[in-house]
Amino acid sequence: MFHANENYLKLPGSYLFSTVARKVNDYSRAHPEASIIRLGIGDVTQPLCPAVIEALHKAVDEQANGETFRGYAPDLGYEFLRHAIAEQDFRARGCEIADDEVFVSDGAKSDSGAIQEIFRQDARIAVGDPVYPVYVDSNVMAGRTGTYDAQTGLWSDVIYLPCTAENNFAPQVSTLLKADGTPDPEKTPDLIYLCSPNNPTGTAMTKPQLQEWVDYANKVGAVIIFDSAYEAYISEENVPHSVFECEGARTCAIEIRSFSKNAGFTGLRLGATIIPKDLKDADGTALHGLWARRHGTKYNGAPYIVQRAGEACYSEEGRAQIREMVARYMRNASFIRTSLSQMGYETYGGVNSPYIWLRARDNMTSWEFFDYLLEKANVVGTPGSGFGPSGEHFFRLTSFGTYENSVEAMNRIRAL
C-alpha cells in the first residue's frame, strides 16, 4: 500500500485565510443584513491597465495566424521580457544584472516555493517572524524544518528572526550573532528569506539594514532569497528596490519579483527570479545553471500572451498607468494609516507598502480583535498571529479595497 508524503502531514491544519473565510461566512449567515467591508484581502481589485490590455489583444491575434503563432515559450522566458526586466528593474537602478540572469516564471509564489529545491536537504533556513507563509511551508513539504510545536507555533529546525515593534519590524543580523558579535555557529543559516517591503507588516528595510544582511551572508556563506513583490510601493529614498543595490549581493543573493501587486497580474500570472552567475555554493557550483536545469525539466514557460502583457508594463504608457494604480492604493493606505493613528492605534507600514499593521486595542489577541472588528464594525482584516508567533496582538489591514470602503471602514472603527 502506498504512503503519502509524510512531510505534508506535518503542516499545521487550518490555513489562515480559510479560517478567516469561515468566520466571515458564519457571521454573514447569522446576520444577513450586515454589510461587511473586506480589508483582509491580499489581492488587487483594480482592472489591468490599458497598455496591458492592448498588448494582450495584439498577442491573442498573433496566436490566430499561422505566420505569427507561438507555441512553447523558451523555458527561461522570451528575450524581449528578460531584457526589459534586466534593463529597467535593475540596470536603470545601477544594479549589474544581465538579461540571461533573469528567469521568467508564472509568479513569485511558485518561485519562492520552489527555490528551496536547488539546495541540499540539510540546508538550514532562516525566516522573518511574522512573514509570508510560503517560505516556511515549502520547506516543511521538503522535510527540512524538523518538528512543529503547536504551543509556540515554531519549527524546531527553523531559525526565526523576530520582527517586533522594538526593531521596527526589520529582521536583525544580531539575532544570529554571539554576544561578542561573531556569527553563532548554532544559529547560522544557509538560506535567509527576506521580504521587503514586508507582507504582512508593511515595513521596509533601509539600504544599510539590507547591506548588513548581504555582508553577513557573504561572510558565513549563506544565500539571501529576497522577495521584492511590493517594490513598486516604495516611496522613501533610503529603501532599496532591489537587493542588488547592495554591494556584494551578486555572490550571495537571489531576487524574486512579481507582476501581481504592482501591475495587477494576480489572475494573469507572471513573475521572475534573478540568479547572478557569480552565486556559487561551497564547492563552486553555480546556482544559475541549477535553476536553468530545474526550469528546463519542470516548467515549459509562461504563456506568450502573458509575457507580451508583461513587456507592456515597461513601455512609457504602461509605466505611467501602473504608477497611477499604485498611487490609488497608496491613497487608501495613507488614509487608513492616518485615521488609525488619530484614533490612538499604534500603526506601522502603509508608507512603502499597501499593508497597514496595527496593534490590537486593549491587549486583545489577534483573533479576539478579528472577532471584535467583524462583530462590532463589520470590518474584516487579517490576524497578525496567522503570519508567525511574533505577529500576536497585531492585525493587518490592506489598501486593496476602494477608497469609499476604506473611508467607511475607518468611520465604523472610529465610532466604536
First vs last C-alpha separation in the chain? 58
Distance CA 61, CA 211 (A): 46
Minimum distance of ligand PLP from residue 109's CB (angstroms): 3
DSSP symbol at 201: T
Task: Judge whether 128 and 195 are in contact, CB under 8 Å.
Answer: yes
Max Cα-Cα span within the chain: 68
Please report whether residue 337 would count as binding ligand PLP according to CB under 6 A: no
Distance CA 102, CA 104 (A): 6
Please report whether residue 242 would count as binding ligand PLP according to CB under 6 A: no
Task: Judge whether 188 and 222 are in contact, CB under 8 Å.
Answer: yes
Please report whether residue 202 would count as binding ligand PLP according to CB under 6 A: no
Binding letters toward ligand PLP, positions 280-309, x by CB under 6 A: ------------------------------
Of 116 and 260, the one with the shorter C-beta distance to ligand PLP is: 260
Distance CA 355, CA 329 (A): 10
Binders of ligand PLP among 127-186, rule CB under 6 A? 132
Distance CA 278, CA 296 (A): 21
Which cell numbers in the block locate residue 255? 531576487
Minimum distance of ligand PLP from residue 257's CB (angstroms): 8
Please report whether residue 197 would count as binding ligand PLP according to CB under 6 A: no
Of 170 and 410, the one with the shorter C-beta distance to ligand PLP is: 170
Minimum distance of ligand PLP from residue 35's CB (angstroms): 27
Distance CA 85, CA 257 (A): 10
Helix (H) or strand (E) holding 141: helix 134-141
Binding test (CB under 6 A) with ligand PLP, winner from 266, 347, 352, 353: 266
Piece of 163-171, 258-266, 328-336, 359-367 that binds ligand PLP (CB under 6 A):
258-266
Binding test (CB under 6 A) with ligand PLP, winner from 116, 199, 218, 398: 199
| 358 C-beta neighbours (distance < 10 Å), count | 26
Task: Judge whether 383 and 373 are in contact, CB under 8 Å.
Answer: no
Residue nearest to ligand PLP (CB): 107
Please report whether residue 107 would count as binding ligand PLP according to CB under 6 A: yes
Please report whether residue 352 would count as binding ligand PLP according to CB under 6 A: no
Size of the residue set binding ligand PLP (CB under 6 A): 15
Binding test (CB under 6 A) with ligand PLP, winner from 229, 279, 336, 360: 229
Binders of ligand PLP among 15-54, rule CB under 6 A? 42
How long, in residues, is the chain?
Answer: 416
Please report whether residue 195 would count as binding ligand PLP according to CB under 6 A: yes
Distance CA 27, CA 30 (A): 5
**How far is residue 187 from each of residues 14, 18, 109, 110, 178, measured CA to CA in Å?**
30, 33, 27, 28, 9
Please report whether residue 354 would count as binding ligand PLP according to CB under 6 A: no
Interaction site with ligand PLP (CB under 6 A): 42, 107-109, 112, 132, 195, 199, 227, 229, 258, 260-261, 266, 271
